[in-house]
Amino acid sequence: MSLLEEYTRIREHTIAICAPLAIEDHVPQPADFVSPPKWHLAHSTWFFEQMILKRFQRDFQEYDPQFGYLFNSYYNHVGERTARVQRGHITRPTLQEVLAYRAHTDKCMLQLLRQAALAPDCTELIELGLHHEQQHQELLYYDLKYILGQQPLFPAYGGDTLRHKDRNAVAGWIDMPAGIYEIGWEGDGFSFDNERNRHKVYLQSYQISKALVTNAEYLSFIQDGGYSRFELWLDEGWAWVKENAAKCPLYWQQRGADWLIYGLDGLQPLEELSVLTHINYYEAQAFATWAGKRLPTEAEWEAASDQLPWGARWEWTGSAYLPYPGFKIAPGAVGEYNGKFMVNQMVLRGASVATPAGHARTTYRNFFHPHLQWQFAGIRLAT
Amino acid sequence: MSLLEEYTRIREHTIAICAPLAIEDHVPQPADFVSPPKWHLAHSTWFFEQMILKRFQRDFQEYDPQFGYLFNSYYNHVGERTARVQRGHITRPTLQEVLAYRAHTDKCMLQLLRQAALAPDCTELIELGLHHEQQHQELLYYDLKYILGQQPLFPAYGGDTLRHKDRNAVAGWIDMPAGIYEIGWEGDGFSFDNERNRHKVYLQSYQISKALVTNAEYLSFIQDGGYSRFELWLDEGWAWVKENAAKCPLYWQQRGADWLIYGLDGLQPLEELSVLTHINYYEAQAFATWAGKRLPTEAEWEAASDQLPWGARWEWTGSAYLPYPGFKIAPGAVGEYNGKFMVNQMVLRGASVATPAGHARTTYRNFFHPHLQWQFAGIRLAT
Amino acid sequence: MSLLEEYTRIREHTIAICAPLAIEDHVPQPADFVSPPKWHLAHSTWFFEQMILKRFQRDFQEYDPQFGYLFNSYYNHVGERTARVQRGHITRPTLQEVLAYRAHTDKCMLQLLRQAALAPDCTELIELGLHHEQQHQELLYYDLKYILGQQPLFPAYGGDTLRHKDRNAVAGWIDMPAGIYEIGWEGDGFSFDNERNRHKVYLQSYQISKALVTNAEYLSFIQDGGYSRFELWLDEGWAWVKENAAKCPLYWQQRGADWLIYGLDGLQPLEELSVLTHINYYEAQAFATWAGKRLPTEAEWEAASDQLPWGARWEWTGSAYLPYPGFKIAPGAVGEYNGKFMVNQMVLRGASVATPAGHARTTYRNFFHPHLQWQFAGIRLAT
Amino acid sequence: MSLLEEYTRIREHTIAICAPLAIEDHVPQPADFVSPPKWHLAHSTWFFEQMILKRFQRDFQEYDPQFGYLFNSYYNHVGERTARVQRGHITRPTLQEVLAYRAHTDKCMLQLLRQAALAPDCTELIELGLHHEQQHQELLYYDLKYILGQQPLFPAYGGDTLRHKDRNAVAGWIDMPAGIYEIGWEGDGFSFDNERNRHKVYLQSYQISKALVTNAEYLSFIQDGGYSRFELWLDEGWAWVKENAAKCPLYWQQRGADWLIYGLDGLQPLEELSVLTHINYYEAQAFATWAGKRLPTEAEWEAASDQLPWGARWEWTGSAYLPYPGFKIAPGAVGEYNGKFMVNQMVLRGASVATPAGHARTTYRNFFHPHLQWQFAGIRLAT
């Protein structure tokens, strides 16, 4: 597929994700970690305008100079930005105006993409922009689910329910011998800077599960007093349990003897055979301790990845998000992409039901703070 | 005007206030004290459904049983309610669905109003519901101005700019002799419980200004160091100044040597002859101290009210909001209207440019917490 | 008694209050509204040094220039001051060093007091300093009780238990006819600026109780569901109940079927006939509503005061703390004494078991924020 | 040295550290992460009483059953405990009473230690108790420095200034070849569970500095705009800078053109050749980025440790605090020692000027949250 076709396909997918939403659903920010869909639509466009068109399109005129301020996320190099927590208060530009901004920017980008010879650094930035947009597609699913799922009426989304692929196809354990393995990206295709360089690691022998933890298994943990036994939890995890009176994963609720779960198709009975999701690192770690197991490190995960079916849920690993040997932050705004987040976050591996086609790799390193539950994350055990 | 005509007129006015807004503008709650316009539209309807139709309409069916929970404001008697701070996260029902709820409820109300003989307590509650709706019309203006005026693009509202009546027509002072005066409501028309009973008060002799403080006068206070001289402020006022790095009223901003002000017609040069508004009690008190004067008490205001031109701005008084002698809280939900707020708030008298026609009286007691600025409030001095 | 004798008597009383405490008890600040006893000892000394000796003692040398910063409470005119919430972190000067500072200052003050003719404004300031010290003596009891009473070991104070005078000597109601009354201070003796000027008020007819509410009566309120019936509470009071899971007055605790109360003599069974104390304004107001009565206004209280036995507990009134007609803030630091607190506080009248001898007057206006419980405050009803 | 002699030596050292303090200095808790010296004295005693005497001393009577509640730090297995943030409000037992508790417990422990044959698990727990006490000796220095150093009078400690060993003796870089190394504890002596098991790691080739960063080098970073250049900082580090208006390490202050530093000997001119300390992980990481270097991982540090002079300052590494392969949490209260803290903290290696004699090992893993500055921590660079 040509870069132009890829551009068109990916940009249209973002629109398609938002299409089932009401205009109102594009506005709010019910938690600090959520961004309004309207903001995602604008910010992913802003990336192409600010990072590419301004630099590579001759005589380029910004669509609206104020949008640079409004739709910057965290790129300090590019300029001031609105406080992240105020994104849900910004009603203007309206959704319709944002869509016009997208359409205009796409027109300019297509002009650029039709040019005979794009400079390599331009091509590279466009690829980065598309992968950036795909990351926001994934976040869009997290955010729209949270926006709808926290409301008293529990409305269904109306689009793809992401219900496919939510059962384990295999079971059992993979035995991995001790020795030197290589992990990290090497090759021609796209990768983020945090996946490089490919390097050697020494692993002790270990076993890793082929299957992800299911709702039924997690329910056993709950019914065995999992949320009231401090000895299963990290100290900060136990503080999180008490502060939030946590009793179950996000989107679960108990009504009498029954468990319901909010999904993109609305409030439903809990399906026990489905793969568990929406637990945070603290919950993943406590479950693993309860099960007499542990979470794999990211190196263990990657070393075994060619034997693992994966892709149903991002999987929490026991690894903190830190630079690979030889990692360097690129100069300028692009360098703010990954490296500056390398503290206090845990690595997730795999991919989720919300990951757009073509965006997953075995070397991909996702990362979240340990208390966050709203991403589609699950548990694979190791020992 | 018949009660039916009054009902129709007032209910339509609420719709008219919201008409110039974009759908998106109906959603957010940029501060705790703000409610989304969509919520106002629904809550004022909820009042008629829950307080009147459920009781007086035979075989009445609630439009949607979940709306009772969603659109209750603070009536503990009526049931659980959503946390006030989460109103801006509720996107469903959508604006269109709320308007359908309004239309349906109006149809039911008109049926009721067309009945030959309404019980007196039913008539009384309908009148209360209409005055309640008018209070929300006033709040709608405060809230939509705040929603638009806090945004980086400073969009104009597009409806009534409320610019009429914002200059003083008279000047000078009224001399009031010491003696016994009567204040409070007495008569046949509608009044809120907090305006009753009419009772005697003794006032020392005083002078009260015919004119309200103007932007120019307040600018002199600013330029004389008003916001950096602690001795002019109440202790809590000075804490408010420091915590908020306050330098001017809400909606004012200094650009170089010029002052701009956000109005419903967008960002504009400050008009010096206009009546000052959007200051809180702390600012009103500090200005009065700086001017060597004080704020009138509510009794002083009311005793002089027949000699005062008023209506341009609610006016801060130096009186705390407390019950009149003999005040009793009515039983049931209607009793939660006023009495329970009688602590830590200051009384405002007069009416504002946003007060709907027919909603003002000289005995009317409005009240706000001392730090709030978003209401259209001004200053009249006394001595 | 001469001013010199008065000075000696009052200054020694402060030392006597602290004498039973351990050195450690002088240090902590377990809540924002509490000050460490060591700080009281130093601050009341600071007042004489900064306000009087620096001005009236020729060639006066400050004891330690840094103490001016450390022991200022809230007098912005005098200079910067340590953040109020950090008082409990200051261990130096030690208690012994503070006592040396007191002794040195007293020596200087006695020199001054022995001079043939003190200027009238000097005498006036010394009197103010002594009344200021007496206010801190009262606060010392509140604070040391809180410091000891919040600890797991519930240690007894070891000094005066303040248990005398805690029963009602009379019962019944006083009938007061409507009419013009005069309240406020007039005369030769000392008064605070907020008690002046004496002025006329008009009161409707009312009844006021001779007795204060007892523990037994308040227990009935608790047992009748007082803390779970929202309709009895002000809206902010109800928020306070829920946020603090309030179930009883400060220092009460239920153990099985029994009620214990922490007093200066340690943890004790609740004495039902004793006068209730340590309730805040919200609790006082809710109790009065439950009893079908109300709190008297401060004018009602003062007008009836010559017929009231009083002094056991400060009594919450239904009046907000506001200036009397004609009140003016004095220029300079002394003017910061009272006026700047005139917002968001309620007036208390009477005096408490902790009020030092000679410090009470019927015109005295005490004031606290509505949520505070740690002062010795009680309830007298009116109707 | 016999265990009895070791016990005596270590227990006396704790007393010696506190000896120069005033009684008042033992009380406050000026920040969440600080514990009052009085609490350290009691808690380290509590460990011997609860973990050892209760179990191994026949007919042992607790000194005071309430102390179990008061002086538990975070051992959920042992029972309820006072909220950590309230430690500074507890004045009773007094220092004298705590010292009596220590003396009594020591007498019982010495009786136990004199018994002919202690069970191996008893000996092991006593050793753990002594290492635990030594950790608190190190913390005591951090805490007493913070308690004194945050006060307006900047009092000197009066005891050991810890000024020895604060200059680099060597310079230059060590070249380490790529390959498999072994890290972790193996052997007969004492080690904490988090240092085990010894295991293989693969390291890429690297260089590690022989010298620690000095005050002069860090001053260059400051003067080069280090605290105002976002691109040098982790995102959370930059948020920390802005929220705290950070401009220099803890205990540094600029007065005009001069830099002062608070040390245990009071406020002093900054010595440029001294080894830097009191920076947090964010500052360490930003400095390393500015210098074009990075922090070593803990494996890199340990692999090179036999060639490193160390001991002047704990050194921040670039490793998150996570379990070694095969790490298991021990059952019961002892298991709460280390494992439950393995999230959101960074590893420090080496030892500090405050580390008691005999408490350091090259396999020792210390750990702190990234924002903390009050521990004696410094920077060693790698590349």
Q: Report CA-CA distances (Å) from B278 to B211, B264, B316, B378.
A: 17, 13, 11, 7
Q: Where are the alpha helices (DSSP H) in chain B?
A: 3-18, 37-47, 54-56, 67-70, 95-113, 120-149, 215-223, 235-244, 281-290, 298-303
pLDDT over threshold 70, residue C68? yes
Q: How does the average pLDDT of chain B come out, rounded?
A: 94
- Read off φ and ψ for residue C29, nearest 5 degrees: -130, 85
C-chain residues near B201 (CB < 8 A): 202
pLDDT over threshold 80, residue A332? no
D-chain residues near C93 (CB < 8 A): 153
Structure tokens at C194: 């907020």
Tokens 């019950």 belong to which residue?
A: B323
Interface test with A, best of B21, B29, B71, B89 (most A CBs within 10 A): B89
D-chain residues near C148 (CB < 8 A): 91-92
Task: Check if D94 contacts C (Cβ < 8 Å).
Answer: yes
The verdict on a CB contact (< 8 Å) between B90 and A152 is yes
Task: Determine what percent of chain A is predicted with pLDDT higher than 90.
Answer: 85
Predicted local distance difference test score (pLDDT) of residue D72: 81
Q: C313 and C350 in contact (C-beta within 8 Å)?
A: yes
Half-sphere exposure of C166 (CA within 13 A, CB side): 20
Measure A127 CA to nearest chain B CA, in Å: 31
B 104-163 residues with CB < 8 A to A: 147-148, 150-153, 155
pLDDT band at C78 (very low <50, low <70, confident <90, very high): low
Task: Check if D32 contacts A (Cβ < 8 Å).
Answer: no
The verdict on a CB contact (< 8 Å) between C26 and D25 is no
**List of residues 6+ apart from B129 with CB closer than 8 A:** B44, B47, B48, B51, B52
Q: Report CA-CA distances (Å) from A276 to A270, A314, A348, A380, C196.
A: 10, 11, 15, 10, 72
Residue among D372, D346, D350, D207 nearest D280 (CA): D372
Beta-bridge partner residues of A377: A314
Half-sphere exposure of D109 (CA within 13 A, CB side): 30
Task: Determine what percent of chain D is predicted with pLDDT higher than 90.
Answer: 85
Partner residue facing C89 (CB), from D90, D91, D150: D150
Interface test with D, best of A343, A371, A383 (most D CBs within 10 A): A343
Task: Check if C335 contacts B (Cβ < 8 Å).
Answer: yes
Q: A84 and A24 in contact (C-beta within 8 Å)?
A: no
Predicted local distance difference test score (pLDDT) of residue A80: 61
pLDDT band at A372 (very low <50, low <70, confident <90, very high): very high
Torsion angle, CA of C48/C49/C53/C58, rounded to 10 degrees?
A: 170
Distance CA B273, CA A294 (A): 72
The verdict on a CB contact (< 8 Å) between D281 and A342 is no
**List of residues 6+ apart from D26 with CB closer than 8 A:** C24, D18, D36, D37, D38, D41, D95
The verdict on a CB contact (< 8 Å) between A93 and B69 is no
Q: D30 and D150 in contact (C-beta within 8 Å)?
A: yes
D 337-356 residues with CB < 8 A to A: 340-344, 346
Predicted local distance difference test score (pLDDT) of residue B166: 81
Task: Check if D266 contacts C (Cβ < 8 Å).
Answer: no
pLDDT tens digit sequence for A95-152: 999 999 999 999 999 999 998 789 999 999 999 999 999 999 999 999 999 999 999 9
pLDDT over threshold 80, residue A165? no
Partner residue facing B22 (CB), from A22, A86, A94: A94
pLDDT band at B83 (very low <50, low <70, confident <90, very high): confident
Task: Check if B92 contacts A (Cβ < 8 Å).
Answer: yes
Task: Check if C74 contacts B (Cβ < 8 Å).
Answer: yes
3-state secondary structure of B260: strand
Distance CA A233, CA B97 (A): 45
Predicted local distance difference test score (pLDDT) of residue A312: 77
Structure tokens at D305: 């440790």
Structure tokens at B308: 């005062």
3-state secondary structure of C213: coil
Distance CA C244, CA C280 (A): 13
Q: Report CA-CA distances (Å) from D307 to A139, B164, D298.
A: 48, 83, 15
Predicted local distance difference test score (pLDDT) of residue B71: 85
Distance CA B187, CA B190 (A): 8
Predicted local distance difference test score (pLDDT) of residue A119: 92
Task: Check if B68 contacts A (Cβ < 8 Å).
Answer: no
Task: Check if D88 contacts C (Cβ < 8 Å).
Answer: yes
What is the 3-state secondary structure of C276-339?
A: CCCCCHHHHHHHHHHCCCECCCHHHHHHCHHHCCCCCCEEEEEEECCCCCCCCCCCCHHHHCCH
C-chain residues near D151 (CB < 8 A): 89-92
Predicted local distance difference test score (pLDDT) of residue C79: 63
The verdict on a CB contact (< 8 Å) between A231 and D204 is no
Chains in touch with A (≥3 Cβ pairs < 8 A): B, D
Tokens 């263990």 belong to which residue?
A: A300
Q: Where are the alpha helices (DSSP H) in chain D?
A: 3-18, 37-47, 54-56, 67-70, 95-113, 120-149, 215-223, 235-244, 281-290, 298-303
Partner residue facing D74 (CB), from A200, A235, A323: A235
Predicted local distance difference test score (pLDDT) of residue D94: 98
Distance CA D282, CA D379 (A): 11
Nearest CA in chain A to D74: A235
Distance CA B252, CA D80 (A): 54
The verdict on a CB contact (< 8 Å) between D152 and C27 is no
| pTM of the complete model | 0.95
pLDDT band at C330 (very low <50, low <70, confident <90, very high): confident
Regarding beta strands C266-269 and C258-263, do their DSSP bridges make them parallel or antiparallel, or are they unpaired?
antiparallel
What is the helix (H) or strand (E) element at residue A261, kind and residue range?
Answer: strand A258-263
For C214, counting Cβ atoms within 10 Å of its Cβ (0-12 exposed, 13-18 middle, 19+ buried), the class is buried
pLDDT over threshold 90, residue A331? no
Sign of CA pseudo-dihedral B108, B113, B117, B118: positive
pLDDT band at A86 (very low <50, low <70, confident <90, very high): confident
Predicted local distance difference test score (pLDDT) of residue C335: 74
Structure tokens at D226: 């280090």
3-state secondary structure of D169: coil
Distance CA A323, CA D380 (A): 18
Task: Check if D24 contacts C (Cβ < 8 Å).
Answer: yes
Q: B352 and B138 in contact (C-beta within 8 Å)?
A: yes
pLDDT over threshold 90, residue B84? no
pLDDT tens digit sequence for A208-250: 999 999 999 999 999 999 999 999 999 999 999 999 999 999 9
What is the helix (H) or strand (E) element at residue D338, kind and residue range?
Answer: none
Predicted local distance difference test score (pLDDT) of residue A310: 81
pLDDT digit of tens for each residue in chain D (383 aa)?
Answer: 899 999 999 999 999 999 999 999 999 999 999 999 999 999 999 999 999 999 999 899 999 988 887 888 766 776 666 677 789 999 999 999 999 999 999 999 999 999 878 999 999 999 999 999 999 999 999 999 999 999 999 999 999 998 877 889 999 999 999 999 999 999 989 999 999 999 999 999 999 999 999 999 999 999 999 999 999 999 999 999 999 999 999 999 999 999 999 999 999 999 999 999 999 999 999 999 999 999 999 999 999 999 998 877 899 999 999 999 999 887 777 777 788 999 999 999 999 999 999 899 999 999 999 999 999 999 999 99
Q: A306 and A357 in contact (C-beta within 8 Å)?
A: no
Least confident of A71-75, B182-186, D25-29, D274-278: A71-75
Task: Check if A66 contacts B (Cβ < 8 Å).
Answer: yes
* Apex C71 CA angle, C69 and C76, nearest 5: 60
pLDDT tens digit sequence for C275-312: 999 999 999 999 999 999 999 999 999 999 999 988 77
Structure tokens at B285: 């008190």
Buried b (16+ CB within 10 A) or exposed e, C129-138: bbbbbbbbbb
Distance CA D288, CA D276 (A): 13
Count of other CB atoms within 10 angstroms of residue D103: 12
pLDDT tens digit sequence for B188-200: 899 999 999 999 9
More confident site: A339 or A174 = A174
Interface test with C, best of D85, D92, D98, D148 (most C CBs within 10 A): D92
**List of residues 6+ apart from C159 with CB closer than 8 A:** C16, C17, C19, C20, C264
pLDDT band at A74 (very low <50, low <70, confident <90, very high): low
**CA-based R_g, chain A, Å:** 21
The verdict on a CB contact (< 8 Å) between B93 and A25 is no
Task: Check if C89 contacts D (Cβ < 8 Å).
Answer: yes
pLDDT tens digit sequence for C231-263: 999 999 999 999 999 999 999 999 999 999 999
pLDDT tens digit sequence for B137-160: 999 999 999 999 999 999 999 999
Mean pLDDT on C347-372: 95
| B275 secondary structure, DSSP code | B
A-chain residues near D294 (CB < 8 A): 323
Q: How does the average pLDDT of chain A come out, rounded?
A: 94
Predicted local distance difference test score (pLDDT) of residue C82: 63
Task: Determine what percent of chain C is predicted with pLDDT higher than 70.
Answer: 98
Measure B101 CA to nearest chain C CA, in Å: 29
